[in-house]
Amino acid sequence: MKNSNVKPAEGKLGIMVVGNGAVATTFMTGVLMARRGLAKPIGSMTQYDKVRVGRGADKKYLHYSDIVPLANLNDIVFGCWDVYPQNAYQSAVYAEVLKREDIEPVREELEKIVPMPAAFDKNYAKRLDGDNVKQCSNRWDMMEQLRQDIRNFKSAQQCDRVVVLWAASTEIYVPVDEQVHYHLSDLEAAMKADDREHVAPSMCYAYAALVEGCPFVMGAPNTTVDIPAMWELAEKTQMPIAGKDFKTGQTLVKSGFAPIIGTRCLGLEGWFSTNILGNRDGLVLDEPQNFRTKEVSKLSTLETILKADEQPELYSDYYHKVRINYYPPRNDNKESWDNIDIRGWMGYPMQIKINFLCRDSILAAPVCLDLCLLIDLAQRAGRCGTQRFLSFFLKSPMHDYTRGEEAVNHLYRQHTMLKNAIREMGGYEADEEID
């Protein structure tokens, strides 16, 4: 490892997860099993990916942990909040993602992960009926109670550092309001005034995390930290933030396959995407207002890869539709279909069809691990604000839309950004072009 200015990953890293459902428990169980040598963390970039450093005779390919000081899996301690009181073992069994034989070896550890009462507003997730919720006088009180939870957890578990990760359900769509969301002082005033329309519970989690010195990751498409007021708070507290929405199945395919069409200069007539899933996420998304939040996230991918202004003849008028359907028999085994209508030589039509039978939580778990380890690294490297290098893991990457900045959704450009950041933090030259 070269000389870099990144602080070492000493002591315990607490990962406090909002939500104790299928994604969270699959993530927790996998980490606990992997550190016992009973499972492999397949799909995790931090555990498997290699980055080239140096050129010519100095060129070598190294794992991330050989370039930068990442937290070790053995040093991770889990905590969580959830509207349902079941511990992580009970929740993992109920989720039916993992087989019992893959849960039982770490049963005792999972049983000790008992969710704290959640900061919850039923208007933001009407389909959830849990009673393990905080009694809050207003949004500011909600945030203060969460701050106390973080302090208590950090003290009880003797953590040196804590990361807060949102792996809970998608909230209803909260449009960005300049009167509330553009300045930190306005957001704080709205919290104290108990403005429940503009201040989602997730914003209270994010605010609490940042003021307690914890990086925050938004794993759902919620507006939460994707507002100027939160960017201001992240700068003020010198904390890194990342979001939004874990990139797992269909959007991963889209961000990787759309570049094939663009690079080959093929025309696009339309891209129809539909999903069926039956887990708690599917139940929540069956509510139109919650689906709207997800739809905005999923629709944003294509338009920044196949750009009308760069290739008007090819991409000026294509039709893009996204659908999600709640179908209980599938549970966590999501199926996505993509029908892509393209144009080739002399305008002749062709079709591409992709049928992805994926396991949502199996794809999300390594993304959770990577985001937590890398945002902890970013914090120790002195990085604050939006961490654009983490776009690789996110469906709708954050960007400064107030200045006309465009999100990078192209998977291979995102990978280059990720590798360059690892190089930089490791004291190497960020030498790959993003074009």
Domain residue extents for the chain: 13-246+361-425, 250-357
Peptide bond preceding 244 in cis form (omega within 30 of 0): yes
The top-level CATH class assigned to 13-246+361-425 is alpha beta
Q: Report CA-CA distances (Å) from 243 to 173, 230, 390.
A: 15, 12, 8
Q: Judge: domain 250-357, CATH 3.40.720.10.
A: no
The pair of structure tokens assigned to 235 is 């700068």
Residue 7 has φ and ψ, to the nearest 5°, of -65, 145
The pair of structure tokens assigned to 63 is 């794992």
* Angle formed at CA 277 by CA 364 and CA 103, multiple of 5 degrees: 50
Q: How far apart are CA 136 and CA 132, in angstroms?
A: 13
**Full-prediction pTM beyond 0.75?**
yes
Per-residue pLDDT of the chain (435 residues; tens, 9 = 90+): 676 789 999 999 999 999 999 999 999 999 999 999 999 999 999 999 999 999 999 999 999 999 999 999 999 999 999 999 999 999 999 999 999 999 999 999 999 999 999 999 999 988 888 899 999 999 999 999 999 999 999 999 999 999 999 999 999 999 999 999 999 999 999 999 999 999 999 999 999 999 999 999 999 999 999 999 999 999 999 999 999 999 998 889 999 999 999 999 999 999 999 989 887 777 777 787 877 776 776 667 898 899 999 999 999 999 999 988 889 998 888 899 999 999 999 999 999 999 999 999 999 999 999 999 999 999 999 999 999 999 999 999 999 999 999 899 999 999 999 999 999 999 999 999 887
Question: Quick one: which of 400, 272, 426 has its CA closest to 336?
Answer: 272
